[in-house]
Structure 1
Amino acid sequence: MSCNDKINEPKRNTIKLLGKVAGSAWVMGKAPLVFSKTTTTVRILGTHVTLQETLRQQAMADLGINLVFEPRGSAAVLQKASMAPQSFDLYEQWSNSIRVLWSSKAIQAIDKKRIQNWDEINNLSKTGQLNTNSNFGAGDAPYRILHVQNNGELGTDHTDQLSFLPYVHNVDSFGYNTNHIKQGIPYETESWGWLLDPKNKGKVGIVNAPTIGVFDLALAAQGQGLMTFNDIGAISNNELDKLFDILIELKRQDHFNGFWTSVPESVQFMKSGRVHIESMFSPAASQLNGMGIPVTYAAPKEGYRGWHGVMCLSSATQGRVKDAAYDYMNWWLSGWPGAFIARQGYYISNPQRSAKYLSGAEWDYWYQGKPASSNLMGTDGKTVVKQGEIRRGGSYEKRFSNVAVWNSVMQSYDYSLQKWYEFINS
């Protein structure tokens, strides 16, 4: 094998993983001005979930560095990151992207010793459970892929090398407009099956992200009694065939009204009346409630689809940019950022440090599952929780005790991509 063959081998492997790749590597940046004092720039590739302007401005002010955010849809983010590590310094998305990024050599290991508040990070990402009664959840639970093993693989034995920084996380489900769909009871009547219920025909939206949407729809098919799975975190090719036969037939019957690729788009789907029920991320439900649109974020009886945010170092990032990237990672665990994202319904891996940046009413509502003792503001300054309301699904521990499956890259990943795009284009 030639030197060039060795260089291109990871890219060829990624093409196999992604199934479809467009374009070639991006070359970015200029040679540093050795004799000039310049502000270090860190380029961050990710999604709208965490790449928000308020966070960027606060981090730049706190750290004295320049941050360039590049938010994209989740599929586009993963494709670019895996094929062009020189185009970014830090990557922010979800744990289902880790296996693709690691196998393509797009990211480098993070030195655990450089994470200042590592000891404060709770056990969800370290051992898989916040308490002994919690479900581990099927699929790529974060603790299964966090540590780099001595053989270079990812696994559960704790080492000083991490594949990602654990930080933002939550459980996902779906949102529904109670002007059109009767409000259900958390963990009792609310069901993923509602996404495929004939009563909602023509008013259903689904997230257009293969490694996420496939689990929403698998949970929906199971919840509606259309099929079952041996292991929903490792769906077989035969099971995928059956699932997508069902979904394609429903699509031909115009059951689905649209497939969204970003939080703003999902908000627009519901705001415009295009859909009455859809796959949804928590900030979208908060934004819609702030607009006066009565969207309930479900606590499905089958359990949630869990996700864990990952912050990864590009394999191409070195020198002072790498140092600044570590500063940014540590900033995320410093307290203020965790409080900020709590106000849109997300959790941080070391919540106690963020507690002092939240009012007692905010902490009790967002983390403890207690009734709001006052109206609570979202990140946009609008009221998103009214006094007396209780968070759907209850406390942090309650919600993460009910994870059915984690966002995952399955062994059938290649085939699931093929089937997903057949479905979208049918």
Structure 2
Amino acid sequence: MRKTDISATRRKLLKGSLATWLTAGSVPFAIGKEKPLVRVMGTHVTLQESLKQQALQDLGIRLAYHPGGSATILQKAAINPSSFDLYEQWSNSINVLWRAKSIQPLEKKRITYWDEVNSLTKTGKVTPNAKIGAGDAPHKIINVQADGTLGAQHTDEISFLPYVHNVDSFGYNRQNLPTELNNDKESWGWLLDSRFSGKVGIVNDPTIGLFDLALAAQAKGFITFNDIGNISRAEMDGLFSLLIELKQLDHFSGFWTSVPESVRFMSTNRVFIESMFSPAVSQLNGNNIPVTFAAPKEGYRGWHGVMCLSAATHGRVKDAAYEYMNWWLSGWPGAFIARQGYYISNPLRSKPYLSEAEWQYWYEGKPATEALKGPDGIISVAKGSQRSGGSYEDRFSNVAVWNTVMPTYEYSLQKWYEFITS
């Protein structure tokens, strides 16, 4: 699509959104008054300057981005809802924030594109035959029930805006892959393979890194979980006994807390294999470091981005927060994050902002018919390459477990910190 066509499409969509606000009897901000400031707390993967600048251009509000490490910002948001207006992270944060009463329900009727949101957060499946995956599949925790709990039964209120999502695994430098593994199917077990000892990195997040390592331990046959989405205390003890022993043998090189740090781990050869998020793979490939984002034979660890409204946010700032949430589903943002390997909940609205080659590669899983650039403008996908795991539907039909806050959450925190400090 030509640039002029894209600009015209965006103007048309935004004009339609404005008409919706006017019809509803509200506008983003009152004329003659200072524009409201929306403070967004979240992660580096979506709180990017390019997104902020585009939102400022498209919307009549002010924005303050506060990115940070996932565990740190979750703790801050749970304790102090007045520190943010919108919180955006992964679905495993929802139960923590909801139980802490740090966030308030969202009204479906105020989500402009709710009807376009696909079935993943509404039914748990992108296709009828997809497996849902263990743990907190997003459709189980999105709807606010009559008794104030979160569940799958559809209601008029939701706990989060469904927007960015993906399946994660691990990344590895192909130049440093042991020869014996060249013809093997990729497996989570590689994270605990002795041939990588001393060169393994793990994300330092007890609701994410824990599942990477649980999947790895199970894949290696070290332990079998009755339900990997609900690990018991006894199973947790067995898992961490193993992990602490491996750490004391220096199997792990480090634990990263942000995407930029994971990029440094790999680019400096501190690690050959590590927990990884898609933007890091895109950046490393753009820097000519041959990293592959694995498609493990055991299935992926799924995550769903959540955008939540602080319990302390009201009035004009709340209106502006809805404005910003609706902007995220308006087309351009979904195309931007597609170029770093992420999906959006209403992909067809973003399709006009992607070239045919981009759409075919990122969503349909087809070989790239031309070199493709990442969101930073640097080529990150070589012509002829194909996305690991296949299409959007293929990838989300193969989720082994979702990022989850288990009933043993408090105990898992204790065991996690014992592990990383051992």
TM-score (norm 1): 0.91
Partner of 1:59: 55
> 226-235 or 36-45: which moved more?
36-45
Partner of 2:74: 78
CA distance in structure 1 between the aligned counterparts of 2:345 and 2:66, rounded to whole angstroms: 24
1:37 CA displacement: 2.0
Partner of 1:25: none
Unaligned runs of 5+ in 1: 1-33
1:280 CA displacement: 0.2
* Partner of residue 105 from structure 2, selected from 97, 103, 109: 109
1:163 maps to 2:171: no
1:176 maps to 2:172: yes
* Cα shift readout 1:165-210 (whole Å, capped 9, x = no counterpart): 0000000000000110059689x71000000000000000000000
What amino acid does structure 2 have at the position aligned with 1:190? E
1:132 CA displacement: 1.3
Partner of 1:30: none
Partner of 1:241: 237
The 3-state SS of whatever aligns with 1:324 is helix
* Partner of residue 341 from structure 2, selected from 336, 345, 349: 345
1:364 CA displacement: 0.2
1:136 maps to 2:99: no
CA distance in structure 1 between the aligned counterparts of 2:33 and 2:157, rounded to whole angstroms: 32
The 3-state SS of whatever aligns with 1:316 is coil
Question: 5 Å matches for 1:244-393?
Answer: 244-393=240-389
Partner of 1:94: 90
* Partner of residue 44 from structure 2, selected from 38, 45, 48: 48
* Cα shift readout 1:78-117 (whole Å, capped 9, x = no counterpart): 0010010011000000000000100110000000000010
1:49 CA displacement: 1.2
CA distance in structure 2 between the aligned counterparts of 1:147 and 1:329, rounded to whole angstroms: 17
CA distance in structure 2 between the aligned counterparts of 1:174 and 1:180, rounded to whole angstroms: 14
> 101-110 or 36-45: which moved more?
36-45
8 Å CA contact 2:178, 2:195 repeated in 1: no
> What do you get for the CA RMSD once the two structures are aligned?
1.3
TM-score (norm 2): 0.91
CA distance in structure 2 between the aligned counterparts of 1:360 and 1:338, rounded to whole angstroms: 15
CA distance in structure 1 between the aligned counterparts of 2:289 and 2:353, rounded to whole angstroms: 28
CA distance in structure 2 between the aligned counterparts of 1:64 and 1:91, rounded to whole angstroms: 20
CA distance in structure 2 between the aligned counterparts of 1:280 and 1:225, rounded to whole angstroms: 23
CA distance in structure 1 between the aligned counterparts of 2:411 and 2:420, rounded to whole angstroms: 14
CA distance in structure 2 between the aligned counterparts of 1:248 and 1:356, rounded to whole angstroms: 49
Partner of 1:223: 219
What amino acid does structure 2 have at the position aligned with 1:60? L
What amino acid does structure 2 have at the position aligned with 1:200? F
Unaligned runs of 5+ in 2: 1-29
* Partner of residue 188 from structure 2, selected from 178, 188, 192: 192
1:408 maps to 2:404: yes
Structure 1 residues 185 and 347 mapped into 2: Cα distance closer, same or farther (>3 Å)? farther
1:39 maps to 2:42: no
Partner of 1:10: none
* Partner of residue 212 from structure 1, selected from 208, 213, 219: 208
Partner of 1:7: none
The 3-state SS of whatever aligns with 1:307 is strand
The 3-state SS of whatever aligns with 2:207 is helix
TM superposition outliers: structure 1 runs of 4+ over 4 Å: 182-186
What amino acid does structure 2 have at the position aligned with 1:407? N
Partner of 2:6: none
CA distance in structure 2 between the aligned counterparts of 1:207 and 1:90, rounded to whole angstroms: 24
How many residues get paired?
A: 392
CA distance in structure 1 between the aligned counterparts of 2:96 and 2:246, rounded to whole angstroms: 31
CA distance in structure 2 between the aligned counterparts of 1:37 and 1:328, rounded to whole angstroms: 18
CA distance in structure 2 between the aligned counterparts of 1:261 and 1:198, rounded to whole angstroms: 24
